[in-house]
Amino acid sequence: MKKLVLVFILFIVYSSSVFSQAVSGSNNQFTVRGFHLDLRIQVMPMPALKAFAKKLSDNGINTLIMEWEGTYPFEKHPLISNRYAYTKAEIVDFIKYCNSLGIDVIPLQQSFGHVEYILRNEKYKDLREDQKDYSQVCPLQTKQDSALFSDLYAELASTHTSKYIHIGGDETYLLGHDARCKAKVEKEGKSKLYIDYIRMLCNIVIKMGKKPVLWADIALKYPEAINLLPKGTILVDWNYGWDMNNFGEHQKLVESGYEIWGAPAIRSNPDNYYLTEWEKHFKNIRDFIPVCRKLKYNGIVMTSWSTSGVYSAVFENEDEITDLYAIRHVYPISGFNMLIAGYFESLKSAIPVDIDRFVIKYAGDQYGFDEVQAKQFWQALKVTPYTVHQGKVQSPKPLSINAILDSTRAASATLHQLNPLKNKEEFEQYRLMTDIRANYLQYEAIEEHANAPDFSVAGVSGILSELKKVIDDEAELDKRFNDLNKDVLYPSELVQENELRGAKARILYDRLSRKK
């Protein structure tokens, strides 16, 4: 009898072990477990970049998609690189370091839309789809486009050991815009215009012995053209919390036979300096990653956008551009450790992340909070996550700016009352982000008052006094921002980010005070 009991116990232990391994093994259905870094703005110094790669590796990430943009040191096309470009030696060393950690570094080179940083230069003016909107190359300038991107891919391939090159291809809003493209669209359709060009780019990559990767939104929009892509192309299905058919009939993508990777986000629209939609991003992790598992996607890549990828041009005259400014800046990635940890957690289990349970545990492990404190912390981050658009709060039910300002101030008070026992600097990021939001909402309330129908010169002195308070508070926020982010951004970036973040209050103050 005792032997039977012992055998039964061993069977239970063995079965539990097998089940545990099966659940753990289900994580491995994602051959590619990736992270995407956007360096269009907020460029990380190399020590910070390496530290981030180490963190990714320690948590099971094996792929890093680098959107270098102007930080790559192109030699044949040096005008493309910007002031923060790394040296080629730094790039090679970084990739070697990542490879030693088991991380494959895939270069992302936008090659259709989102190429303002290339087309701003007069040298490439003939490639533009539009001479005012520099976001997109003309897909019928095949010979010139092919020459340019062949050069760029070749340089990237010379430093990157990955078998992949990501060619972008998303958000090509100007498709069929100029006269030549319009004529082709009328004859063959937008899908043919798009796919013919993308296929040309894919073939360049394939001839280099690499595999092309591209965002799947436009392919979803024109599914009849998907099968015209070269075999071996990888499509990245990016979904930041919307319906699966947001871009088009999703089932056609799944049935296409191409390898697919999924891509959620921890920073995306409408996030900016003044708002992070914490709960939205956690829900994106909770909901989309299990769907990618169910659909048997080969990979998952967490995206993290420092900006929208849309630029505002400053023109010296109608034909001469002076500069480009990135529209919408998001708080640096240093403030998003909890969401990144949520992503790591989602890769460890086939069971969707329980958001509340995860946050409570994270707050306990990282900051030493008990359950009550952890819930207070989480509630403070979730409070009134609404944008303000042209003086109106974008909320399901009518809310005033002062109402969400009061909620944000209460959330700030909660965060300042909580006393983390460890990782105090990380926790300070939440306090700063919330205080920046409160400062911004205070400005928005002032601007709403200034735009009221009954506002007159008699009210100017009161407005100036209120603006002065906002500007003085902003100066203190700048100091805190510099202290917390001095290791992840260059000094000149810190200056620029602070100037842009507080610009509206200073500009309105100067206008109303008639400063000479």
Give the pLDDT band of residue 319 (cuts 50, 70, 90).
confident
Out of 143-147, 151-155, 352-356, 403-407, pick the least confident. 143-147
| Adjacent-strand bridge partners of 260 | 235
* Residue 68 buriedness (CB in 10 A; 0-12 / 13-18 / 19+): buried
Whether residue 150 sits in one domain with residue 190: yes
Domain end call among 348, 374, 389:
348
In 10 A of CB 154, how many CB atoms? 12
Question: In angstroms, what CA-CA distances link 400 with 236, 300, 447?
Answer: 39, 39, 13
CATH assignment at residue 221: 3.20.20.80
Q: To 10 degrees, what angle do helices 503-513 and 424-450 make? A: 30
In 10 A of CB 236, how many CB atoms? 29
Q: Which amino acid is at 249?
A: E
| Adjacent-strand bridge partners of 94 | none
Residue 167 CA to residue 264 CA, distance in Å, equals 19
Residue 133 CA to residue 113 CA, distance in Å, equals 11
User: For residues 262 and 237, is the Cβ–Cβ distance under 8 A?
Assistant: yes
The residue among 326 and 280 whose pLDDT is bigger is 280
Whether residue 318 sits in one domain with residue 200: yes
pLDDT score for 4: 39
Q: What three-state secondary structure class fits 324?
A: strand
pLDDT score for 26: 45
Whether residue 230 sits in one domain with residue 196: yes
Residue 467 CA to residue 486 CA, distance in Å, equals 28
* Residue 346 buriedness (CB in 10 A; 0-12 / 13-18 / 19+): buried
Q: Which amino acid is at 95?
A: I
pLDDT score for 11: 34
- Model pLDDT for residues 294-310, shown as the tens digit of each residue: 999 999 999 999 998 88
Q: What DSSP string runs through 44-79?
A: PPHHHHHHHHHHHHHTT--EEEEE-GGGS--SSSGG
Give the pLDDT band of residue 412 (cuts 50, 70, 90).
very high
Tokens linked to 49? 């970049």
Asked, for residue 372, whether it belongs to a domain, the answer is: yes
Whether residue 335 sits in one domain with residue 464: no
pLDDT score for 29: 76
Whether residue 388 sits in one domain with residue 321: no
pLDDT score for 27: 44
Residue 331 CA to residue 433 CA, distance in Å, equals 8
Average pLDDT over residues 444-469: 95
Asked, for residue 11, whether it belongs to a domain, the answer is: no
- Model pLDDT for residues 358-372, shown as the tens digit of each residue: 999 999 999 999 999
Asked, for residue 2, whether it belongs to a domain, the answer is: no
- Model pLDDT for residues 43-56, shown as the tens digit of each residue: 999 999 999 999 99
Question: In angstroms, what CA-CA distances link 450 with 262, 469, 470, 509?
Answer: 46, 16, 15, 11
Out of 19-28, 143-152, 353-362, 451-460, pick the least confident. 19-28
Asked, for residue 246, whether it belongs to a domain, the answer is: yes
Whether residue 387 sits in one domain with residue 333: no
Whether residue 267 sits in one domain with residue 401: no
User: For residues 369 and 420, is the Cβ–Cβ distance under 8 A?
Assistant: yes
Q: To which H or E segment does residue 261 belong?
A: strand 259-263
| Cα 350 off chain centre by | 25
Question: In angstroms, what CA-CA distances link 277 with 30, 149, 194, 233, 502?
Answer: 27, 36, 33, 33, 21
Total residues belonging to the chain: 516
Q: What DSSP string runs through 406-461?
A: HHHHHHHHHHHH---SS-HHHHHHHHHHHHHHHHHHHHHHHHHHHTSTT--GGGHH
Asked, for residue 15, whether it belongs to a domain, the answer is: no
pLDDT score for 313: 86
Domain extent at residue 86: 26-348
Out of 17-31, 80-94, 132-146, pick the least confident. 17-31
| Residue 17 confidence (pLDDT) above 60 | no
Domain end call among 348, 368, 392:
348
Residue 197 CA to residue 512 CA, distance in Å, equals 51
pLDDT score for 25: 41
| Residue 94 confidence (pLDDT) above 80 | yes
Whether residue 138 sits in one domain with residue 69: yes
- pTM over cut 0.75: yes
Helices (H) and strands (E) in the chain, counts: 18, 13
Instruction: Give the chain's domain count.
Output: 2
- Tokens 């603006």 belong to 467
Out of 24-38, 302-316, 451-465, pick the least confident. 24-38
Residue 256 CA to residue 226 CA, distance in Å, equals 7
pLDDT score for 515: 57
| Cα 132 off chain centre by | 26
Whether residue 87 sits in one domain with residue 209: yes
Asked, for residue 48, whether it belongs to a domain, the answer is: yes
In 10 A of CB 120, how many CB atoms? 20
Residue 307 CA to residue 267 CA, distance in Å, equals 9
Domain end call among 348, 367, 400:
348
| Adjacent-strand bridge partners of 37 | 66
Instruction: Please choose, from the candidates 337, 334, 333, the residue with its C-alpha nearest in 3D space to the C-alpha of residue 363.
Output: 337
pLDDT score for 76: 97
Whether residue 209 sits in one domain with residue 81: yes
| Residue 274 confidence (pLDDT) above 50 | yes
Phi-psi bin for 143: left (phi > 0), alpha (psi -120 to 50), beta? alpha
Asked, for residue 181, whether it belongs to a domain, the answer is: yes
Residue 141 CA to residue 512 CA, distance in Å, equals 49
Average pLDDT, the chain: 92
Whether residue 262 sits in one domain with residue 378: no
Whether residue 367 sits in one domain with residue 330: no
pLDDT score for 425: 97
Asked, for residue 238, whether it belongs to a domain, the answer is: yes
Q: What three-state secondary structure class fits 166?
A: strand
Peptide bond preceding 270 in cis form (omega within 30 of 0): yes
| Residue 158 confidence (pLDDT) above 80 | yes
Residue 334 CA to residue 53 CA, distance in Å, equals 13
